[in-house]
Structure 1
Amino acid sequence: MSVPKVVIVGRPNVGKSSILNWQAGRLVSVVDPTAGVTRDRVGHLMFVGDRYFEMIDTGGIGIVDSDDLSEDIERQIQTAIDQATVILFVVDGITGVTPLDRVVAERLRKVDKPKLIVINKCDSTKTDAEIHEFHALAPVELLQTSVRANRGRDDLMKGILSILPPPAEGEDLEGKTLAEEPELKMAIVGRRNVGKSTFINALAETERMIVSEIAGTTRDSVDVRFELDGKSFVAIDTPGVRKRKSLANDIEFYGLVRATKSIRRADVVLMFFDATQTISQVDKKLMEEIQDNSKPCIFVVNKWDLGLELGQTTEKWGKYFENSFKSMRHVPVAFITAKDSHNIKQLINLAQSIFKQARERVSTGQLNRVLQEAIKDNPPHIAKNRAPKCFFATQVAVQPPTIVVKVNDVELFSPSWERYLLGRFREDLPFKEVPIRLYLRGKTKEDGDDE
């Protein structure tokens, strides 16, 4: 990669994630007073002046992880340091130099890369006289910051730009490419430990996310860009969700909120299930969120190798989905084994296909031919001694395809007939596997008489 990487490192709870969010201008990384919140590498593409670079947050060095993932977190930190162009060594201006800060300094002393020491949490000038002690950590420039007081933000950015190496050949082009909208944004959602991060790593062909048998490893929603067949995609790995009453702490609550936000900003949602587990209330809750946002979706049954060992079949799962999600029978189903990369390319191709369906626009003529045929085959029943009439239909939007049918009186049409009409539109128009929004609109005075 030609785009420089500015990696934020330091002991736990010195405000590394806050600094990333502060500079990015939005919530990129989960922030919580609990030490060790960040586990994966979390990055954000920056464009400042005429330079592109990626700012990367890392886990706290020296953390003893509550889920025994310390080795995995450490490996992610080391990967970030190895790939870094510039290192921001963050310390806490309130607590001063700690033994763990010295451990971090000793580790970074062996890394021959440009560095800055960022003395964070300097909310006022009261700490200014004490910053000299941080000079002992490394012979590099010291910068004071406070995210809370919005102090030193511009100075920090100027400091970063001053020690970035000259632009490499192709850096600007690659930065512009990374800044462009991808071909497709896919949210990877599901309950905990269904293999979402394993799938992301298979796509990225690197261990970008920590993969563990411990449920709930991912705490941030992390965007991972990858290429396939010359096209650029973004996969959004989301925290695994569990029942609200089971949420252990604020960190998991933020993860739940971010999972739902990821659904809203995705083009297609890949809803993951474990082939060895039954569908849960959490799965149904997530599907409600997907349905409420009218997002194209694929049911992804992961760990299919284990499912086959249990004697499962694609037909059984198809029927299971139909019975569990009766209003989502249009959703296609994919069977994969992420750890072996089995059927992953086919899944991405399917995601592209349904995204294309969601953006289709049909002519008013075609739409009204389907409408008239539907009425001919199954006319709506007379209600309130009046005959329901449909005058014309038009598609008013895409993503999702949205169809408005002008009628004489909305109240004359039963919900069952509306479902029938929606089914006919799905069957006869190029929207077979995506949600459709259908609205009946009554005539107004401006439209003239019913007849």
Structure 2
Amino acid sequence: MAVPQVVIVGRPNVGKSSLFNWLARRRLAIVDDHAGVTRDRLATLIEHDDRYFELVDTGGMGVVDEDDLTADVRHQIDVAIESADVIVFVVDIRAGVVSLDEEVGERLRSLDVPVILVANKADSDTLDPQANDFYRLGRGRLVCVSTQQNRNREELLELIVDRLPAGAETRPDQDPQMKIAIVGRRNVGKSTFTNTLAQAERVIVSEVAGTTRDSVDVQFELDGQRFVAIDTPGLRKRKSVRTDLEFYSTHRAQRSVRRGDVVLMFFDANESVSKVDKQLVGYIIENYKPCVFVVNKWDQLAGKVTTDRWVRYLRHQFPTLSYAPIAFITGQTGKNVKALLNHSQMLYKQARTRVSTGQLNRLVHAAIDQHPPPMYQNRRPKVYYATQVSTEPPTVVLMCNEPKAFANDYRRYLLGVLRDHLPFGEVPIKLYLHRRNRNEEAPPGVQN
């Protein structure tokens, strides 16, 4: 049996996203006083009393979207409700019952699933009597909570767990194998690609710039394995980030890069590389993430431009990521998408690989013998031994007599040797040079 879904619904600005973050104990959804911030369905896995469920946040029911996406938001809410095993109906205890609350209650009245009525913003028990008026909405057990004052979180979780379907799985069937962060500037086709992976309208797709505001985790399967695609908001130039929503969206996109095991950096085949693209690639480099350059909408250039031309263009624009593979896809039709995912799995495997100390030392010493480092203060720099200390990214430490003696160009030479001869050919490598203390022992198998 699949992990049950618990769906949060309610009118705009009752605190649904705050409740979502509060129950998850993480800032996953953007919280803002601006109505209609949440558009797509956001989901996260929750565990309580050895029971698992997927908590789903939705947009405000009855909202009129400022970018004419009202029908799309409503569709996302309807899909969530139809898949729900438990509904959490959120109202604002301070505002009392309003007409939109009654409309939401009417929408839920015909559902044959448990409903929990949550009176939010009850910062103290003196406000609890005001919740009695919500009983006339006609559905569900009522509980008063406050996300700001951390009131009654455990009680709400207990109510949810008690209403989960009998026989539901106590844990997910399988943990996801890999998290793929899908990033790029606005309107390059990230959400369309995500929907292709999910084989469903999982996120809203629109020509309106900035449609996606939150980072949305979408689970999908390929060849019997589960993965997570993280659809991210499209980035803008820093000087163009003028509102809180844009600031939070940029922050979410950057956090998604950090969370991802592999980053797919999207480009529009019809557009040249922009300053925003370079800023985003710079952030990927700073975080040492395996990356694939994805040229999307390639069908629109069929017969007009060769892939070789785009490869040369991207290599010229991003010389420090010359090792990153480049894929040409059509996200809308799924062309070359499976090959892209297979290559992403290869990068994931490379980033998690560990090589033996003996193999690493033989390679490093051979590279130094073939091309010795330049003299430094009338002395020849020495590397005593090398060792890999971590993975994701592969991290190599060289113990030497003087780290400052190894200039940046020589460090790049050593990185190139590691990448050419070890199974790290297409992923970033961290290289540290440390001064060796006289009394420090070398690792087993390495001569002092």
TM-score by length of 1: 0.93
Following superposition, the deviation at residue 351 of structure 1 comes to 0.6
CA shift for structure 1 position 447: 5.2
- 1:276-315 alpha-carbon deviations (Å, 9 max, x no partner): 1111111111111111111111111111112336x22211
Q: Is the 8 A contact 1:386 1:412 kept in 2?
A: no
Q: After superposition, where does 1:54-133 map in structure 2 within 5 Å?
A: 54-133=54-133
Identify if the C-alpha distance between structure 1 residues 101 and 366 changes in structure 2 by more than 3 Å, giving closer, same or farther: same
**Which moved further from structure 2: 77-86 or 230-239?**
230-239
Q: Which residues of 2 match residues 51-450 of structure 1 at below 5 A?
A: 51-168=51-168, 171-172=169-170, 175-177=171-173, 180=175, 182-308=176-302, 311-446=304-439
The sequence identity of aligned pairs, in percent, is 53
Shift of 1:193: 1.3
Match of 1:330, SS state, is coil
Runs of 4+ in 1 over 3 A off after TM superposition: none
CA distance in 1, matches of 2:296, 2:36: 29
Amino acid at match of 2:79: T
Q: Distance in 1 between matches of 2:436 and 2:6?
A: 60
Q: For residues 164 and 364 of structure 2, what CA distance do their matches in structure 1 show? A: 62
More divergent stretch after superposition (211-220 vs 130-139)? 130-139
Q: Is the 8 A contact 2:115 2:139 kept in 1?
A: no
Structure 1: which 5+ runs fail to align? none
Structure 1: distance between partners of 2:48 and 2:411: 52
- Could you tell me how far apart the structure 2 residues matched to 1:447 and 1:47 are? 46
Superposed displacement of residue 139, structure 1: 4.3
Distance in 1 between the 2:381 and 2:3 partners? 62
CA–CA separation in structure 1 for the residues paired with 2:382 and 2:159: 69
Per the alignment, in what secondary structure is the counterpart of residue 439 of structure 2?
Answer: helix
1:430–1:121 CA distance, 2 compared to 1 (3 A): same
Distance across 2 between alignment mates of 1:438 and 1:130: 62
Aligned mates of 1:354, 1:128 — CA distance in 2: 54
RMSD over aligned CA atoms reads 1.8
Q: Secondary structure at the match of 1:356?
A: helix
Whole-angstrom CA distance in 1 between matches of 2:389 and 2:159 = 50
- Amino acid in the other structure paired with 2:122: C
Compared CA separation, residues 139 and 59, structure 1 to 2 (3 A): closer
* TM-score of the pair, normalised by structure 2: 0.94
Aligned length: 442
**More displaced 10-residue stretch of structure 1: 107-116 or 87-96:** 107-116
Deviations 1:148-200 (A, max 9, x none): 122222222222233333224xx23xx3325x3x2111111111111111111
Q: How far apart are the structure 1 equivalents of 2:160 and 2:378? A: 75
Deviation at 1:205, TM superposition (A): 0.9
Amino acid at match of 1:264: R
